Amino acid sequence: MPGTSPWSALPDALRAERVDDIAVLTLARPAKRNALSDEAVLGIERFFDGLEPDVRAVVIDADGDHFCAGLDLSEMTERDTLAGVSHSRMWHRVFEKIEFGPVPVVAALKGAVVGGGLELAAAAHIRVAEESTFYALPEGQRGLFVGGGASVRVPRLIGVSRMADMMLTGRRYDAQEGLGLGLSQYAVADGTGRKTALELAGRIAQNAPQTNFAVVQALPRIAEANPRDGFLMESLMAAIAQGTNDAKGRMQDFLDGRAKKVTDQ
């Protein structure tokens, strides 16, 4: 039907809304601690595929006391090897649309950020953790291995040895520990995660689009490249960004004293 929002087809486990130029995706299955079914994961994909061109940032929030307790284990079925690979690759495809999508993503964490929930959070660019937040990767105690991207993204945040400890021993980290390790960039009081995430997303939305694009698309690739290739990519991205009319206008505002300095609040 013409004019129908692509978000109208989201499953009941998800809810989408606009707050000015920010799109908010809410995990809406609190009775199950927002465990992710395949339907919900594919709904996340539809949400990101349906972002309107004027959206400048995304916030991922959650109903109830928990962000996400991981994979919905009630959906676990016996799969042959090829089907198991295909299922894991589906999660990879969807979460890649978060990490390498068109705009920065801020996740508001609370309660359980466990298993697939940590994989979802790790795909975001900024993570705000309420005091109740705790992180765990219980797959090791269940005879499983992570399959939604954790073995790539989580070691980037905390290192291979700490992730191995989480999986081998069932170790949990609380919000303050997670902040120190890099699982989040902000720790806030309970009940304030969404507000803080929206405030941060609002600041991000004021950035030049070319800068946000460079941070989301180029920065992680530069960081993973060998230094010679990384320096070249940095030069190319810097030249592209500063050559835009937007950048020229912002620089002129700064030179004319109309823009905030770093010391300004």
- Taking only Cα atoms into account, the Rg of the chain, rounded to an integer number of angstroms, comes to 19
The C-alpha atoms of residue 125 and residue 162 are separated, in whole angstroms, by 20
Type and span of the H or E element at 242: helix 227-242
Of 78, 96, 139, 234, which one is the catalytic site residue? 139
The C-alpha atoms of residue 148 and residue 168 are separated, in whole angstroms, by 18
Sheet containing 112-114, strands listed edge to edge, beginning at the edge strand earlier in sequence: 112-114, 134-136, 173-174
The C-alpha atoms of residue 230 and residue 91 are separated, in whole angstroms, by 28
Residue 139 annotated in active site = yes
Of 17, 52, 78, 119, which one is the catalytic site residue? 119
Contact 179/109 with Cβ under 8 angstroms?
no
**Nearest 10 degrees: CA dihedral of 51, 44, 154, 163?**
170
Residues with a catalytic annotation lie at 119, 139
